[in-house]
Amino acid sequence: MNELHYPGDPDNLYEQTIAEVLATADFLNLPEHLRLILAQPKNEVMVHFPVQMDDGRWQLMKGYRVQHNNVAGPYKGGIRYHAGVKLDEVKTLAVLMTLKCALMRLPYGGAKGALKVDPRAHSSEELMRITRRFISALGNNIGPDYDIPAPDVGTNAQIMAWMADTYINMSEMHNRVEAKSVVTGKPLSFGGSPGREKATGQGLVFVLETLLPNLGIELTECRYSLIGYGNVGSWTARLLQDRGSKLQAVMDHSGAIRNPEGMSARKLAEYVAEHGGVVGYPGGEACSEEAFYQEEVDLFIPAALEQMIGPEQAKLLNCKLVAEAANAPTTPAGERVLTEKGIEVLPAILCNCGGVTVSYFEWKQNRQSETWEETEVDHKLQAMISEAAHRVHAFAESHHCSMRRAAFAVALQHLQDIYALRGIFP
């Protein structure tokens, strides 16, 4: 780690992620230069810019765009708005995007962006000014052929529309049609793709449909609990409800609730849209965090933030399978406890790749000035995801390794193939 310029802190998220990348590279016997290239991002852009608030005060904002690797194509990855965001978190998410796109065989590299801001603390007008200033500060560090942002925690289709509009207005006249594809996850009426809003949850459901039969769990009878009821969590729950699965416990930033008889995912989504969190929902009873983790279920889905499942939480879990909808929700120490307990973990780069895959469909539609039907989007997504899930499962079976190791290996092999063909410029 030292020669790769690491802080040497085992609790550091970036170090945890790169340690797994390097261990997988060893497992595959990949060349040293690939290890060196992937150990640090290519570019780390940091911007500071002032924005005027509604009351006339000026506030200084800090934003990041980390571009990890672009050997497979333009950089691609979401932009997060969160008050507690840190550079190492953004670097980690950028690495995971490189791996996710490689695993899915998308023509993209990996990036991630973030703005240190609490979106709930600002009016819509302020959020628009903040977003426009951020995109103007990033300037040519993004572009439809270079680096293509998307939504993530704390950002949504409206914010993507402001980003695209700002970028279009900063572009040369003859590039303005293409400029729209600078971001994905836009609203439907402004170049968005049918099926993009639900895509990450939809992708997870397709992964589960492909792999659960191997683990002896049927979605029609599956009992599950969930952390996070934002875009990914609530869409996963609504789509699992259509398959007959039962949501027994859910926790978000407001607290935890449970109901062993099951809760209506759709009614809960309406409640959260109105009240801001799951606590107080009449279809469930409030419970402690400990009781939430101890709920006896088949499937546990973390769909909130990173590093939420450490050893303490892993010891409490009472499930057969963890499907990581959030990025990097399980720490290495947490995963060791889960493995000792015989709980299988499906890794995030497979489970949540539906979002970037439909983003790719949106980018393609924009470039061809087309709009596909939602059924076409779902059909293409299902085909690509089940192929990726089979690829990972086959590697894990043939190499007797975990699904996380297999997913990282399938991605790294693809990057190695491209580097072997392209070489290193200049």
Catalytic annotation, residues = 112
Tokens for 373? Answer: 């039907």
The residue written with tokens 């900063």 in the block is 170
Q: Measured from the CB of residue 83, what is the shortest distance to ligand NAD in angstroms?
A: 11
Q: Kindly give, in sequence order, each residue whose CB lies less than 8 Å from that of residue 406, ignoring residues fewer than 6 positions away.
A: 392, 393, 395, 396, 399
Interface residue with ligand NAD, options 253, 315, 364, 380 (CB under 6 A):
253
Interface residue with ligand NAD, options 94, 299, 303, 321 (CB under 6 A):
303
Rounded Cα distance between 387 and 207, Å, is 10
Q: Measured from the CB of residue 229, what is the shortest distance to ligand NAD in angstroms?
A: 4
Interface residue with ligand NAD, options 148, 305, 337, 411 (CB under 6 A):
305
Contacts to ligand NAD from residues 208-247, by CB under 6 A: 227-233
Which segments of 190-320 are extended strands (E)? 223-227, 246-252, 255-263, 285-287, 299-302
Rounded Cα distance between 18 and 62, Å, is 25
Which residue number is nearest to ligand NAD in terms of Cβ?
230
Does position 193 bind ligand NAD by CB under 6 A?
no
Buried b or exposed e, range 176-198, using 16+ CB within 10 angstroms = eeebbbbbbbbeeeebbbbbbbb
Q: Measured from the CB of residue 99, what is the shortest distance to ligand NAD in angstroms?
A: 13
Residue whose CB is less far from ligand NAD, 206 or 419: 206
Contacts to ligand NAD from residues 338-367, by CB under 6 A: 352, 355
Does position 187 bind ligand NAD by CB under 6 A?
no
**Phi, psi (rounded to 5 degrees) for 346:** -90, 120
Angle between helices 374-399 and 403-422 (to 10 degrees): 100
Residue type for position 164: A
Contact 137, 49 (CB under 8 A): yes
Does position 38 bind ligand NAD by CB under 6 A?
no
Contacts to ligand NAD from residues 113-172, by CB under 6 A: 151-154
Give the number of residues in contact with ligand NAD, rule: CB under 6 A: 23
21-29, 49-57, 325-333, 405-413 -> range binding ligand NAD (CB under 6 A):
325-333
Does position 21 bind ligand NAD by CB under 6 A?
no
Residues contributing to the site for ligand NAD (CB under 6 A): 151-154, 200, 227-233, 251-253, 303-305, 325-327, 352, 355
